[in-house]
Structure 1
Amino acid sequence: MSVISFRDLPLSHEVTHRMAAIYQSKLQNPEQGSALLSLLRSVAVDKSRGIYCAMSDSVEIPKKLPFRLIDKSSAGDDTAAYCYFLNPLLMPEKLGSAEFNIGSATKANLRRTNGGFLVVTIEQDCARPEQLDAIIRFTKPGDTITKLDDSLRIFKDYRGCTAVFSGNRSVHFHFVFDTRHLLNVPHDHVWMQRLADHPVQSAFMANVHNIYWDLVAKTFSEVASIEVEVDKELRNFSQWRRGPWGLRLVDSSENLLRLEIGQHVPQIVLFEKLRTVRAPKGSGSFAVDPSYALPLSPTSSRKLVSHVPSFFTDDVGQKLLPEFTERCRSEWGRDYPMPVSLGQDNGEWIFNFKNHEGDLNPSTVVRGNHSRLLIQGGVLDGTFILPGSLTAQETANDLALRFGLISESLKMPDDTGLVEPLTLQQKLKRGVPMKDQIESIAAKSMLIPVSTRPVDELKLLYRNNLNHALARVAGLDRDELVVSGEGIGKSSYIARQFANDALDTAMSFTDERQRFFCFAYRSVAQAQEKAADFSSPTRFAIVIQSFWKHYRAACAQCGVDPLQADKFDRPSDINSVLRTILHQKKDVYDTLESVRQNLWMRDGVLRFDAGKTFIFTSHQTVKTWTTSRLTKTWYHPEFRSLDDTQDNEALRREMLLQHVAYDDPEATDLLHVIPGALFDHLRSSEGSAWRNLSTVQKRSQYRSAVRKNILTDETFKTYDGLRHLNLAGFDQYAVDYEAMPFGHENSPESIYRGQQGERYFIRTQDWAFNSRVQWTFLTTEPLVAEMISAAYRKRNRTLMRFQLDNLPGVYPLRIPLSYDNRAKATSVTELAAEINERDPNAVVIADGLGKMKGARAMSFQAMKGLNSLAHNNIAVIVQHLAPEVYAKLNVLGQWAEQPYAIAMHYAGIMNQAVGRNAGFRQKDGTKTVMFATTGLINLIGSDLEAVNHRMILYPTAEKYW
């Protein structure tokens, strides 16, 4: 095979030597690929979504079908045989089956689809070598191409650019845009869903492509000063484009570079800067808004009549006419025949064309199922076929949808039983806020028909739909609250999404800071378990816990007792702390150093890389991340122990959190809820300069507050945090028994009415709102969801709440209810012991178990997040609220304006408990039973039914144990 020498091209020395160096680098490093090529290969064939990106060595492929596809499993990027590629297209119905008939397959121009990205290509065909030379010059990094890239970076859906030498008279500038944010044509629809309304989706994507193309062409003309006309043929969505690293065969002696027939020209990559997942740094709005919809025109309600009207006289026609005229001009390479009117006659679309500028009686026509123009009136020679070989009917239907002459709803396939009658744009016009519509779209993405499907199949479908629902709203850069059932896979989806986003985020910034993606759990132990599941050969999970936990572990390993906190003079100064430890016992210091030096190591390689390393930690750690000094400094791999000359503050600033998945939060995680007596104490002590006290003095005040019953179960650490708290902005609430009654006896002496008037002071915490971290909260509990939503509402901050737990066929769970008078604080241990004794496979979940707590008896708090109980029988014992719990729920309900706070609390703990082995975790042969007193169910039953659609309790006399 004869390959050209770039140095021999009739271009400048600078250009030819640069091109030769690029090609030589590829020869020496065959694995050197292209980000664009990798992106195309990722969807070369996606049978589940019914899409493909055809890549070929020839443009003569029947209907541009994927008969020759890159093997995605092959190594490297050796694609020499494939010079051309296409934007994602829809696979025709029955493709791959014996019933497929290529003759009846829909044409490529009508199978445009949302594959998650679009490639917009700009090309300028040069007439002289010096023009091509100038174009290649500005592909040098830092030159015009960089200015182009910078100009487009302001858009959140822009991903980057790849410049490919076409092998002859041009460069193909491929600009990539992310389309996963488009709500009206989801990128994650499966094949069946795409086929159901492919004409509408195709028209939609044609418009989207042209919006992007026009934007890029305008920017290109403003930034690039080459006086060569842009080729508008590439404004066509389904036009072939020159791909990275293909080999072009010279088949004509009439070429710009004087190449010989039979030579091969490498389509080298002259420039590439592609971000395949996240928006580039500094981006703001979308070039195509997430709510973009097909236009709605007054003509869409016009009844089409038998005579031939001209629609090119109204506003819609004035937009349609230039579009169609330009397509004809690009296809035929000439101005005439020129379309002048479009109408219908007995259901057939008719185009009329004029043959020349002075044609006053346009009679050349094409209609119905014909694609060839019937030339009338002379003047024109040759045969003219409509662009894309479409018929008049196909062309007009497509244009009519694109420009609002007719309107069809974007809808789900018929067999789902779901229809979306209005586009998001229509709903916005009716006054429905964008936030509500996005949340609604996510919820509707979960729905499936359930009438004939077995439960196991439904579970699989719902898990898939959860992925689709969350993927549809990914990339909105807003804090999120995801509410769904236990075990459905919320965390698994987020893990996959984070793995994709992290590398692109790392590539989008050029500073020294590491922007980590993080998973936060209720405890370090949970974080360690999840990190072990997440780790793989290509991604590293590090579990971050506080420095003091490491210190206590090192002391235990060395067989010494940890120093008390008051022994550390400056507990927030890491070097001061380490010196104290060194003086206490060198073995402990050495153990800590050994641990620290290996924190980020795996297989001898330092993994301090936010693109491939993920942080797993506790809720408490992420809540204090922005203010943490000791732990963050000690964890930095460049920290030098005991070196007071090092700028430790700079190290701390280099470790940022980009996005945190906050799993299974508590209802009050975003709130300060302080009892009145404690608040009075804090307010009276506010001016006492707590920060200036020694640790001994602070602990003395803490013990005094405990003796006075000002503190109940608050630790010194909690008390210390409260003493640092700014008390401004708290709202006072008093328990209102009448607003939320509870209990059977309501005399003033009753334990619940006795809480009447108890004061609480409530304010949102700052940690979630005073940082640049993006938060995704994952919960199954209705009360938690209400409290988080209320916190954002009171802060006037946007929170996207995705309520994805309406899952018919899986929910509601039918749970047997066994009435037992021992289901109360004084005798719950007796009931729990009997259950465990009679069933060796039983696990009891209840509060107040005391010394019974362990592997087979645990509290509602302890069981949260556990995945290990699916094979056990679960006995859930619910009891009356403790008075102080009732009081807290009462004021929280007032604060959040939620009168069902108590019922939501019960629904949350009951759903969590039965979800350990039921619903999505159901295994054959396991049992789940609820125990309660008759009195409790009488109290909460009706309210529980109002707020809990995931469970139905049915009383039973059967003895399960």
Structure 2
Amino acid sequence: MTEDFGSLPERIRADEGTPLCFFGNPLQLPQGWDGPSFDIEVAERPTLRATNAGFLVVTLEHDCKERAHFEHICEWLVSNGPLTRIDHELRKYRDYDGYSVVFAGNRSLHFHFVFNTQHLLEAPHDQSRHERWQYRHVHAAVMSNVHQVYWNAVVDLTDRLVDPPVPADKSSNSYAQLKRTPWGNRTLNTESEILGLPAGTLVPQLVLVENIRTRRSAKGGGKFIVEPEFRASHYIKDRKQYRSDAAVGSETEDISAGNEMVNEFGEMCQATWAAPFPKPVSLAMERGEWVLRFQNHPMDRRPSTVARGDHTTLLIQGQDAPVGTFRLPGELTANEIGDHLARRFGIVPNLPTPSVQQFCASELPYFDRLRARAGKAFKETYEETVTRTFPHISSSPIPELQGIYRQKLFHYLNNAMFFKGDMICTSGEGIGKTTVLFNLMQHAALDTAMLQVDRKVRFFVFAFRSRAQAEEKALEYATKVRRAFVLKTFWAYYQDACSKCGVASMQDDFKERSNILSVLKQIACSQPAVYEELERVRRSLWLADDGTSLFTGTTLIFTTHATATSWYRTHLNRTWHHPRFNPQMEPDELEELRGEFLFEKVVFDEPEWEEFAHIPTDELHRHLSAHSRWRWQNLSARERKESFYRMKQSDSALATIDYEDYSELRFLDLARFERVHVDFASQPFGRENSQKAIYRSQDGKSFYFGPKGWPTADTTSWIFLTTESFTTDVIVALYKLKLGRPLLSLRLDNLPGIYPVAVPLVKSPKASARRVQELASEVLISSNRNVVIADGLGSLKGERARTFQGMKGYNGWADEDVYIVLTYIHPERYGRLNALRQWLQVDDTVIKYYAAQLSQAVGRNTGFRKRPGTRTVVVASAGLLRLIQTKLALFAPRVRLEVSPEAFW
């Protein structure tokens, strides 16, 4: 090694050699290296400057203490001997280039294996100097892990094909470890026990055998030891992808990234200190700096030896502590080694930032932080603080991390409950957002009930996508001291009564469907048995098992999205459900009852962005404009349905809309809608962009956007719970630009240690709208544990096959193997998403839509829901992946897709 790069010879001749005895793997030059004031002692350490120059060298060294062992290893070099067999196995891979064996000059041989790394995508070998330095920490993490995979591959082959008399020196598994230069001239510092040479002898580092290919055969191996898509996240060194085709891409046991990070750090320390203790037991970020804790001996139950922050040396504390000075591997500081390992093991995102600490705590001085916040609203400052401080960066195992994150979630939601107005909370699947809010809503309901002195009953509500989910959550919530009520619509009770009485429903025949007195009168005349059953149900509706009334503000209501969003305008449901309702009441008495039954706060689980807006096409808008909304209001429900289905047969504008959505639009004032045109150039999509391309054909088409009124219609405040960043982006923009109502946004989806989850990605031409049912059938037939999430399933939809919409909020697949099929979206869906970008100024809506689908689907049995023995597999066509895969890494950070040649079904 040298600091004088100008003195390096272009070539090294065997007969002359070189005094440069060592070489290393490619490193970025430290900043200012060519300036007069450069000081190598303060430059960034070599480990943090690892970079991809298109190749790297893995070195195996067996440090012999006996001459017999040294001679045994030298025998590996004979023609057709063990080294030839190792080389033959490695040449099956495209990224292997050959070997060179160098006599180290004393008691070992250095087996240098050369690997080509030009194919790596996350650390490109041809980046500019500026980009390379900006992404230096990404390169360092990627190349350290790549080197480790190659080193493991060579060691594994050596152990299987040969019987080494001594194990490989573990210090050589470091990317930055120095290696013996071919034809270097070494002066022995001590006597050579193996060769019997005295100290001071000049010994040449001979090249004993070499076979490095400079050209690649077109018929060479088609596999890689390290695939092009290899990413520096959740690296698990025991995954031996190189063993066989069956092993590549296969599932591994569930291993905590945090535990593996501690194990890796432990091996680094042991190789550096040549001693088992101090032994690392934990790495954690505390108050913006890494704290590394060590055991002094096997029985050390309360480790007190630490290294923290910008220190490179351990602070030895506690009884029976090892004697001596222990510097961290690579002479890195605790912060540097914590950051580096956290990147290598996917505990934090691999982004082009100078330090992981920036994700967790500002490095600005206190007064600078105050100055930076000047002029910001408290809400905005609080949102930023929560986002920054929620991640818990440590080496804790997943069960412990789950408990920590749930405590943090409770803390932040508890604080946020004191904000007046609406809130949206974004976090990972299965973290327990709803469960945390059970207790918080119960306490808030009690406080509200005690403070009110009027006759109004203010309920706290949970709203879900389906009634089945509402009933399931109500059972989960209800205990001896917690009371729950499942709120069904009047029409649901009516249908139940008809079924019980064995008569046909006449739900579409009521003349005044929204008038409860008129409806009950008609039922009493035409279906007296049904009327009596409804009255029996109504009188016991709010009675608890102990005979007390549930109609108090301390009872939590569980219902559906549809019921919650229509509560502000409904008359029939709010009056019939009131325990003081009487069919003989006057209309003004009914209005009084309606005013007493309020929703104070609603937890809205897994909202869809389309639930917040009407989006008719240009064609549908013209249809609605041509038909009077006043005439529609005067029709009975049956007459409306008959009219709708009659028009649907002849009017293409109604082809993709159902009756309920159409009927709602007929009541609206179309003057409130904004016309937005699709701009293909703003978000190009598809395999080609000719004028006839299916997505480009949407260019210029119009959609009419109108915000729905329910979020701001009355005094109800809303808490939206979602796992999708895209949904959050849309709702936040809608509140800000269209509703003019404050919305507190808590983004708690940065969950280091839990995410990202590695998911195999299988490329298949059957992942298309035309062949998706064929693919889904194959997956379902192959195992009764397999379930499928995909659109376009047709008759396959059911308990084992759900659409992306149908699986949201569903938690019943934690023990199944989930197969997710991504296909090209429908052109009209593309058009709506494109126009949405213009309406709400939300960028990348198409890719974010895919990212939301992927994150939601993967969350069915991974992350907090992960159970041993289950797998999740994503299937997509090569064409679609070319369009979306790169950006999915940015917009779906909780998922890391790994291309696999195995189909799994």
TM-score (norm 2): 0.58
Aligned counterpart, 1:849: 793
How many angstroms does 1:729 deviate by?
A: 2.7
The residue number in structure 2 matching 1:448 is 392
- Among 737, 743, 761, which residue is 2:704 paired with? 761
Matches within 5 A, 1:409-558: 421-422=365-366, 426-427=370-371, 430-450=374-394, 452-558=395-501
Counterparts in 2 of 1:353-752, with a 5 A limit? 421-422=365-366, 426-427=370-371, 430-450=374-394, 452-565=395-508, 567-644=509-586, 647-686=589-628, 688-695=630-637, 697-706=639-648, 707-752=650-695
Deviation at 1:957, TM superposition (A): 0.9
- What are the Cα deviations for residues 306-328 of structure 1, in whole angstroms up to 9, with x where unaligned? xxxxxxxxxxxxxxxxxxxxxxx
Distance 1:896 1:646 in 2: 42
Distance 1:724 1:434 in 2: 40
CA offset digits 1:380-421 (Å, max 9, x no partner): xxxxxxxxxxxxxxxxxxxxxxxxxxxxxxxxx999988785
> In the alignment, which residue of structure 2 is the partner of 1:861?
805
Please report how far the alpha carbon of residue 723 of structure 1 lies from its aligned counterpart in structure 2 after TM superposition: 1.3
RMSD, aligned CA: 2.5
Distance 1:744 1:429 in 2: 46
- 2:870 is the counterpart of 1:911: no
Q: Distance in 2 between matches of 1:432 and 1:847?
A: 43
Cα separation, partners in 2 of 1:634 and 1:713, compared to 1, 3 Å: farther
CA distance in 1, matches of 2:385, 2:501: 57
Deviations 1:173-210 (A, max 9, x none): xxxxxxxxxxxxxxxxxxxx9x999xxxxxxxxxxxxx
Correspondence for 2:718: 775
Contact 1:543 1:617 in 2 (8 A): yes
Counterpart of 2:602, as a letter, is: V
Aligned mates of 2:526, 2:658 — CA distance in 1: 26
Q: In the alignment, residue 656 of structure 1 is paired with which amino acid?
A: L
- Post-superposition shift, 1:905? 0.7
Distance across 1 between alignment mates of 2:608 and 2:672: 22
- CA distance in 2: counterparts of 1:862 and 1:703, whole angstroms: 25
Partner in structure 1 of residue 107 of structure 2: none
CA offsets 1:123-154 (integer angstroms, 9 cap, x no match): xxxxxxxxxxxxxxxxxxxxxxxxxxxxxxxx
Q: 1:938 to 1:482 in 2, by over 3 A?
A: same
Q: How far apart are residue 655 of structure 1 and its match?
A: 0.4
Question: Given that residues 917 and 926 in structure 1 are in contact (C-alpha distance below 8 angstroms), is that contact kept between their aligned partners in structure 2?
Answer: yes
- List 4+ stretches of structure 1 deviating above 6 A: 413-420
- Shift in alpha-carbon separation, 1:751–1:416, aligned structure 2, 3 A: closer
* Contact 2:510 2:636 survives alignment (8 Å): no
> Structure 2: how far apart are the matches of 1:488 and 1:926?
19
**Deviation of the 1:700 alpha carbon:** 4.7
Structure 2 distance, partners of 1:730, 1:764, is: 8
Deviation at 1:885, TM superposition (A): 1.1
Q: Is the 8 A contact 1:702 1:716 kept in 2?
A: yes
Give the C-alpha shift of residue 619 in structure 1.
Answer: 0.7
Is the contact between residue 516 and residue 615 of structure 1 (CA under 8 Å) also seen in structure 2?
A: yes
SS of the residue 1:907 aligns to: helix
Question: CA 1:691/1:424 → structure 2, altered by over 3 Å: closer, same or farther?
Answer: farther
Q: Which amino acid aligns with 1:571?
A: R
Match of 1:889 in 2: 833
Mapped to 2, the partners of 1:553 and 1:766 lie a distance apart of: 31
Q: Is the 8 A contact 1:517 1:610 kept in 2?
A: no
The DSSP-based 3-state class of the residue aligned with 2:672 is coil
Distance 2:541 2:368 in 1: 48
Q: Describe the superposition over 1:520-579 as per-residue Cα deviations: whole angstroms up to 9, x where unpaired.
A: 1111111111111111111211111221111112112222211151x2111111121112
Query: Which range moved further: 553-562 or 600-609?
Result: 600-609
CA contact (8 A) 2:859 2:865 kept: yes
SS in structure 2 of the partner of residue 768 of structure 1: helix
Give the 3 Å change call, closer, same or farther, for CA 695–835 of structure 1 in structure 2. Answer: closer
Query: What letter matches 1:835 in structure 2?
Result: V
State the distance in 1 between where 2:639 and 2:501 align. Answer: 30
8 Å CA contact retained: 2:675, 2:702: yes
1:818 aligns with 2:766: no
Structure 2 CA distance for partners of 1:667 and 1:653, relative to 1, 3 Å: same
Which secondary structure does the structure 2 equivalent of 1:498 belong to? helix
Q: In structure 2, do the counterparts of structure 1 residues 520 and 645 end up closer, same or farther at CA, with 3 Å as the change threshold?
A: closer
Q: Residue 414 and residue 713 in structure 1: after superposition, are their counterparts in 2 closer, same or farther (change >3 A)? A: closer
Which blocks of at least 5 consecutive residues in structure 2 are unaligned?
1-283, 289-356
Equivalent-residue separation in structure 2 for 1:704 and 1:506 (angstroms): 50
Q: Which moved more, 1:949-958 or 1:427-436?
A: 427-436
- Measure the CA separation in 1 of the matches of 2:378 and 2:628: 44
Letter of the 1:590 counterpart: E
Instruction: Please give the per-residue CA displacement for 1:854-892, whole angstroms capped at 9, x wherever unaligned.
Output: 111111111111122111111111111011111111111
For 1:876, which of 820, 825, 847 is the aligned residue?
820
Q: Is the 8 A contact 1:873 1:928 kept in 2?
A: yes
1:753-774 C-alpha deviation (Å, 9 max, x unpaired) = 1222221000211110121111
SS at match of 2:830: helix
2:844 to 900, 916, 926: 900
Query: Alpha-carbon deviation of 1:604?
Result: 4.2
- For the residue of structure 2 that corresponds to 1:601, the secondary structure is coil
The C-alpha deviation readout for 1:246-266, integer Å capped at 9, x for no partner, is: xxxxxxxxxxxxxxxxxxxxx
Question: Pairwise mapping of residues 1-20 of structure 1 onto structure 2 (< 5 A)?
Answer: none
Q: Secondary structure in 1 aligned to 2:615?
A: strand
How much does 1:446 deviate? Answer: 1.4
Residues 361 and 389, structure 2, Cα contact 8 Å, conserved in 1:
no
Q: Is the 8 A contact 1:731 1:763 kept in 2?
A: yes
Alignment of 1:181-330 (within 5 A): none
Mapped to 2, the partners of 1:555 and 1:595 lie a distance apart of 13
1:922 maps to 2:866: yes
TM-score (norm 1): 0.55
Tell me the SS of whatever aligns to 2:806. helix
Residues 846 and 876 in structure 1, CA contact (< 8 A), matched pair in contact too: yes
Give how far 1:705 is off: 3.3
**SS of the residue 1:791 aligns to:** helix
Q: Secondary structure at 1:542's aligned position in 2?
A: strand
**Alignment partners' CA distance in 1, 2:473 and 2:441:** 14
Q: Which runs of 5+ in 1 are unaligned?
A: 1-192, 198-412
SS in 2 for 1:776: strand
- For 1:879 and 1:579, the matched residues in 2 are separated by 52
> In the aligned structure 2, how far is the partner of 1:920 from the partner of 1:615?
27
Separation of aligned partners in 1, 2:832 and 2:481? 46
State the one-letter code of the partner of 1:912. Q
